[in-house]
């Protein structure tokens, strides 16, 4: 199956990042396989914080379309992730920019009914 990459702004809230990945999964019939932070240099030398998402095209039945992103850099977030692990599949853990701040995030998915 073919893989592709999308770049999203790092200055958005966690839920906006999740929503962008969910829309990409739906539009391209692909599953999210990785997220990582990056700095893009502009022509003037300024750097922009972005998140790079890797997707893999797959059968629609293999896509966990109900995505949840949990900031696990806090005690509450870690507790939320532990609770979510009972109802969703843990896809991966990553670091991404959230509102231009680097955060530890766990990504969960579940097949919607």
Q: Is 103 exposed, middle or buried (0-12, 13-18, 19+ CB in 10 A)?
A: buried
pLDDT at 1: 73
Closest alpha carbon to 31 in 72, 1, 69: 1
Kindly give the confidence (pLDDT) of every residue in the chain, 113 residues in length, as a single tens digit, with 9 standing for 90 and above: 799 999 999 999 999 999 999 999 999 999 999 999 999 998 898 999 999 999 999 988 889 989 999 999 999 999 999 999 999 999 999 999 999 999 999 999 999 87
pLDDT by residue (tens digit) across 102-112? 999 999 999 98
> Which residue is it, tokens 């502009």?
42
Q: What is the pTM of this model?
A: 0.91
């Amino acid at each position: 199956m073919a893989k592709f990459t999308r770049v999203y702004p790092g200055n958005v809230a966690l839920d906006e990042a999740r929503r962008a990945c969910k829309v990409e999964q739906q539009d391209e019939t692909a599953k999210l396989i990785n997220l990582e932070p990056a700095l893009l240099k502009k022509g003037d030398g300024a750097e922009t914080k972005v998140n790079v998402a890797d997707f893999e095209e797959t059968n629609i039945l293999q896509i966990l379309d109900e995505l949840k992103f949990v900031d696990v850099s806090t005690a509450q977030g870690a507790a939320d992730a532990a609770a979510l692990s009972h109802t969703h599949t843990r896809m991966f853990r990553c670091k991404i920019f959230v509102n231009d701040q680097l955060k530890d995030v766990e990504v969960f998915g579940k097949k919607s009914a």
